[in-house]
Chain A
């Protein structure tokens, strides 16, 4: 059965021994560089499912009276399989941006190049902010955080290339169809930095 990232992430935390529920929340946060901050409800719901599916089992209580869980053999086998199975692209293609642009290019009069440019500005802003965070991160002490930031930055880089590609394709089609490029009035120069909020 397909399970989400959180399901597998929480199961993997049991690799180094028994844990109690709240502990999972803090550990997932730390080990993914703060990218998956779950609320307590999400942690316990997922833990219940792991238990129900026989992937973890209760192993008594700790000194503070908290119920401890440990990975079962079945859980270890499932985790090994998860690690060994590449992630497929099905989820990646279902982003809101992909949806927005797929719809826009087939909607009459939609301003595709405008959408692309607005996204480019936003993505570049994010790239700058992640670059800041990455420069401040300590590769020795925060390897997971660095890995997550690299992940986000590579994704943004590929998104920006994809936006360039869409724009070039749309402009090429427009030229081939003989329609004029947007009038200069639509592209007023922005004389200075926009006000807070960063909108055009």
Chain B
């Protein structure tokens, strides 16, 4: 009798899982806690909003889309565990994550489990140089960004250039790449090249040192939190120099930290902001996001995570399949100029996004980010 009951229970369980498989699962791996928790929270908001919209329109292939969120903590070790958890839950694809080093720790786990990974903020060059079939990213690469940054520095006619990074994979990569390009172009002299320690709040030491070598421009490749403090403390030291940042400084919080007077005149390189895109997709999306959460998204990477979700659901709808090999083929070859939130999206054979280039922005006196021609 006991055996019969056990058998029944087992059958029920099997049926239970079969029932659950009736939805298409998409993983979201993001920094929900840890130093980048604000980006992670927005990534989750964006992807969930898009999934809700999709489900209201009837879902995918007649099934509901279910988003499973795992926290990578902004930390490679936590991320590896998160990736393993997602891999065992039968997700078709994973969106994320933000930091390059964090993504790198999970690439092989997803690759071996044949799960498509679409990173949204990992711009380090080497991530897509490993020949991984299932790896994609909606953000451009650092070499692309360095090119635009170096051009902008040359265009401003700067002769004495200081480059400051924060020793993270991303910031150091961007700094090295930019230095290489500037040296190759023989454009000016690199008078300072060093790293600060992120999350410290006092950067007067490094500013005092930089001031003493008298650069025309300081290119800081780290994140917005530190950039805001650098601007504020430079202002307090009465040091008037042009600051420029990489795309990790693209966040309105930089103006809040620095104050409008100190942030004015700050340049940064970034993928275009949603507000500067003429496409209807972006505008509609911004409206619904603002309506639901009360403010437009702060971080461009949240929008890029949304684009990751949109391309993978597009691929599933077009191929009428959840077979990773078919989906990867579709994304590599057949997806051309897909109207994303951040512009047109196509992928090359490495899984890198092509076509879209970085822009240069400048902060005006009101603290707004103005696209530079």
A and B are partners in one complex rather than unrelated chains: no
Measured CB to CB, the residues of A under 8 A from B are none
Interface residues, chain B, with chain A CB atoms under 8 Å away: none
